[in-house]
Amino acid sequence: MRIAIIADIHSNYPALQAVLADIDTQDVDEILVAGDAINGGPNPREVLDVIYERNLKTVIGNHEEYVLTIRTPGHEFPPEWGTSFWTLDQLTHEDITFIENLPASLVVGDMAVFHASPKSLSHSIYPDSTEDTLADLYGKVAQSVIITGHTHLPFVRQWGDKVVINPGSVGMSLDANPMPSYAILTWIEDRFLIQHRRVNYDYRVLTENFEKSGLFESPQRYFARVFHKQMLTGLAYITPLARTVLALEESGIPLAEALPTVDLDALHPKIDYWAD
């Protein structure tokens, strides 16, 4: 049995197309999506249509949760913070129903798939996460193969008699390599092989899609540009941007005024697994 695992597409449709084209040459039996299929990029509808057409089993991610959260009266997300508001505007009632019914986990044979962990959609697991952290998050998981996404960093971590695997990100890699990443697991009797694959795509199409979408002119344009920059570079700008903006807010500058003052090129993005 061969299973392809994809995660963190973030509405990057041309990257998804390239990954699926590669998967279609690999003779896999199934494709699973480990969350964050949408939000961030310009093509949430196209990404969801692919999931529908291919009937891909998908778990919910924190970005799907963001889109659901902003529909709730009293939510704390201001319009400028993130691209969830724009993404929500693109979705149909059927899309929302689909997202609301996404499971938090999938079990396929001896493999359990989460976006992050059984406890949270936002736990960040790294190659150097402590044994105590893994025990706390996955100690009750019966399966020996654990899939996690969220950090956008491809890795394989042996943990006792279990293996924790991050397939990397299809739409927004953050390991200093912007090429989309995914993983294939091949079971041979009671053993399995793990293969991470990287593919290329036309980044110009991604930029054109951003420009056509209207995201760059929307109230969410500042974070749209951050996501676009991350997709093009493979570097994480979101954390230093958030810290900079929060510092400006603490000094009395409102968020809507603080965001336009930040020079993305002057930020020092996260470029390795161990940075905060």
Q: Phi first, then psi: what are they for 125, rounded to 5°? A: -110, 130
Q: Kindly report, residue by residue over 100-109, the tens digit of the pLDDT.
A: 999 999 999 9
From residue 5, give the alpha-carbon distance in Å to each of 18, 27, 160, 189, 191: 14, 13, 22, 20, 18
Over residues 136-147, mean pLDDT: 97
The arrangement of strands across the sheet holding 191-198 comes to: 57-58, 30-33, 2-6, 181-188, 191-198
How confident is the model at residue 74, as a pLDDT? 85
For residue 262, what are its two tokens?
A: 């930040």
Mean per-residue pLDDT over the chain, rounded: 94
pTM (predicted TM-score): 0.95
Give CA torsion, residues 209, 210, 211, 214, to 10 deg.
110
Whole-number Å distance between alpha carbons of 173 and 18:
14
How confident is the model at residue 90, as a pLDDT? 97
**Strand, coil or helix: 54:** helix
Per the model's pLDDT, the better-predicted residue between 63 and 243 turns out to be: 63
Segments making up each domain of the chain, as ranges: 2-198
pLDDT surpassing 50 at residue 274: no
Over residues 49-73, mean pLDDT: 96
What is the percentage of the chain residues whose pLDDT exceeds 70? 97
**By the 8 A CB rule, do 63 and 116 touch?**
no
For residue 19, what are its two tokens?
A: 């990954």
Name the CATH superfamily for 2-198: Metallo-dependent phosphatases (3.60.21.10)
pLDDT surpassing 60 at residue 226: yes
The lowest-confidence range among 27-31, 176-180, 237-241 is 237-241
pLDDT surpassing 80 at residue 29: yes
Q: Kindly report, residue by residue over 78-100, the tens digit of the pLDDT.
A: 888 889 999 999 999 999 999 99
User: Confidence band (pLDDT; 50, 70, 90) for 276?
Assistant: very low
User: Confidence band (pLDDT; 50, 70, 90) for 270?
Assistant: low
Over residues 13-41, mean pLDDT: 98
Q: Which class for 91: exposed (0-12), middle (13-18), buried (19 or more C-beta within 10 A)?
A: middle
How confident is the model at residue 271, as a pLDDT? 59
Sign of CA dihedral 251, 257, 261, 265: positive
- Contact partners, residue 113, CB within 8 Å, separation at least 6: 5, 32, 34, 59, 105, 106, 107, 147
Q: Which class for 41: exposed (0-12), middle (13-18), buried (19 or more C-beta within 10 A)?
A: buried
How confident is the model at residue 42, as a pLDDT? 98
Whole-number Å distance between alpha carbons of 33 and 42:
19
Nearest to 82 by CA among 39, 35, 43: 39
